[in-house]
Copies of this chain bind each other. A is one copy, B any other.
Amino acid sequence: MEQRNLYSFEPQPLLVVVSGPAGVGKDSLIQCLKERGCTLHSVVTATDRAPRPGEVHGADYFFLRTEEFLRMKREGELLEHAIVYGQHKGIPKQQVREALASGKDVIMRVDVQGATTVRRLVPEALLIFLTASSEKELEQRLRDRGGDSPEQLEKRIATAREEMRQLPEFDYVVVNRDGELAQTADDVVAIIQAEHCRVKPRVVKL
């Protein structure tokens, strides 16, 4: 009987939070992990902002009316919620709970402010900070992405600078270099694989 305990090393499902400044490549990273066939449940964030061209409800985000979003928040149905550039964003709790219960690792993309909230609410979450290799690189990516006014761009860069200071709240930092998304994804896959081998697993309670 005792022996069964000595040799039981079943990996625990992880709650993986991928964060980092706007424009750093969080969405591309999660897309890349999906394309590799990683068995991750990718959480869909709820927001009341308007969809960008090509964004799909239920896949990219749950696009909710503001009043609907506020109801979920009021009823404690959100793991974290924040107002980012005047728009609400939040993670529906139930989705995370169900995925973890099924034994699947859960990955979610959250801005830095949100990640620090998750850390507070779920200390056992695994927090990965995704960064560009320099501020210059980040700025160029934001320009290339387009869709921001010069004022918005400037604001995003100032925010990114502040966000870098939150790094000590995170477990891992992964540098997403230009043109090296595959290497970035490798690092994230390695982090998840390594965490499955931890002697003291991060057992998430929600």
Contact = CB atoms under 8 A, between A and B. Distances in A.
Q: How many copies does the complex hold?
A: 2
Chain A interface helix/strand/loop/mixed: mixed
Nearest to A171: B199
B171 A198 contact: yes
B199 A173 contact: yes
Interface residues of A, number: 34
Contacts of A186: 193
Contacts of A164: 6-7
Contact of A197 (B132, B134, B165, B191): B191
A16 to B, nearest CB: 12
A172 B199 contact: yes
A86 interface: no
A3 B173 CA distance: 16
Interface of A: 3, 6-7, 9, 128-129, 131-135, 161, 164-165, 167-168, 170-175, 186-187, 189-191, 193-195, 197-200
